[in-house]
Amino acid sequence: MKQITWSHAVNEAIAEEMRRDDMVFLLGEDVAEAGTPFKVLSGLVEEFGVKRVVDTPISEAGFVGLAVGAAMTGARPIVDLMFGDFIFLTLDQIANQAAKQCYMSGGKLKVPMVVRTNMGATRRSAAQHSQSLHTLVAHIPGLKVALPSTPYEAKGLLKTAIRDDNPVVVFEDKLSYQMKGEVPEEEYTIPFGSANILRPGNDISLIAASSMVQVCETAAAQLEALGISAEVIDIRTVVPLDEDTLVASVKKTGRAIIVDEGHQSYGITSEIAARLGEKAFYYLDAPLTRMGAMDVPVPFSPVLEDLTVPTADGVTAKAVDLVSGAAR
């Protein structure tokens, strides 16, 4: 295993897939020479040239639509959407066009494209550059949605996304680009729909995605010190969702907190809680509990922004309440 940054892992995933398949190309704002404002894509244009690493105008709806058409006719675009917030500008192309082609054509058409974008607050970027909008696309049948939590997952899930014959939206936490982690030397992919149990436990399940996985790991360590055994599960993909692993965990622990950085109301935490309620109700010892981002636009001021996202201390406190029965 080697230790590399998230940026490096993403860069490797794209380079490997572009070497493997000539039809894969990259499209977005400042992806070529600049390598994106986050410098994640540096070096790709040098290897693959401007034919396959294409700088676009600031025309999100246009270039996502173009990618849909390219994908329907044999190419395999990876669209770089600089901030997850800009997904709103592209939703007609993603939701009305990309997501529905396969179904509307009775399976005759397919749209093998990836939209690679980001999520996550606490970067002091205010309300239009800080949202976590994965729920929006997860709601639309026909789209797959991945939320890696480590460099290893960023690479493995992105490679799977590129090889998938469906439109896939990958959300990366924008504070993770410099995060280092172990990544195998050899080629690998991570299948969609397989959650990862990071830490087994018996008293409560902490279910999360993206950077909230680290929040739950920290909380689990705090809980261990308090004599509470927490199971931490990284769902990895929201669609498809590995329901079996989650249900089995909750049947074992009898309690769950689902943690996510999207707004809490109508978010993925609600969906997961509902499914667990349907499938594991008779095993529950405490109410299924959601912890999402506060239902407010993300404020700029650090003192306010930090209040809006779930924290390890918050998860720990909630878990203690649930396990001790104080929540009753």
Ligand X SMILES: Cc1ncc(C[n+]2csc(CCOP(=O)(O)OP(=O)(O)O)c2C)c(N)n1
Q: List the catalytic residues.
A: 129
Q: From 73-81, 164-172, 228-236, 288-296, give the range in contact with other proteins by CB under 8 A.
A: 288-296
Q: Which does 297 bind (CB under 5 to 8 A by kind): ligand X, other proteins, none?
A: other proteins
Among 48, 86, 171, 192, binds other proteins (CB under 8 A): 86
Stretch binding other proteins (CB under 8 A), from 2-10, 54-62, 200-208, 284-292:
54-62
Q: Is 30 in the site for other proteins (CB under 8 A)?
A: yes
Nearest in space to 134 (alpha carbons), one of 235, 257, 255, 245: 235
> Which CA distances in Å does 93 have to 57, 132, 269?
17, 19, 26
Residues 68-127 that bind ligand X (CB under 6 A): 82, 86, 89
Please choose which of other proteins, ligand X, none residue 55 contacts, taking the beta carbon within 5 to 8 angstroms, the exact cut-off set by kind: other proteins
Q: Residue type for 301, please?
A: S
Question: Taking CB under 8 A as the criterion, which residues in 171-200 touch other proteins?
Answer: none
Cα(128)–Cα(4) distance, integer angstroms: 30
Q: What is the CA radius of gyration of the chain?
A: 20
Taken as a whole, the chain contains a residue count of 328
Q: Which two tokens stand for residue 119?
A: 């999520």
CB 60 within 8 A of CB 81: yes
Q: What is the DSSP string of 65-91?
A: HHHHHHHHTT-EEEEE-SSGGGHHHHH
Q: Among ligand X, other proteins, none, what does residue 194 contact (CB within 5–8 Å per kind)?
A: none
Counting contacts by CB under 6 A, is residue 63 touching ligand X? no
| 300 near other proteins (CB under 8 A) | yes
- With contacts defined by CB under 8 A, how many residues of the chain interact with other proteins? 34
Interaction residues for other proteins, span 123-142 (CB under 8 A): 123-129
Residue 225, binding choice from other proteins, ligand X, none, Cβ under 5 to 8 Å by partner class: none
Q: Pick the closest to residue 264 from 294, 298, 228 (CA basis).
A: 294
Q: What is the nearest approach in angstroms of other proteins to the Cβ of residue 120?
A: 14
β-partners of residue 172 are 118
Q: Does 66 participate in binding other proteins (rule CB under 8 A)? A: no
CA dihedral 37, 136, 116, 71 (to 10 degrees): -130
> Which one of residues 29, 172, 217, 271 is an interface residue with ligand X (CB under 6 A)?
29
**Bridge partners for 258 per DSSP:** 207, 290
Question: Which residues are near ligand X by CB under 6 A?
Answer: 29, 58, 60, 82, 86, 89
The footprint of other proteins (CB under 8 A) covers 29-30, 33-34, 37, 55-59, 61-62, 85-86, 89, 123-129, 294-297, 299-304, 307-308
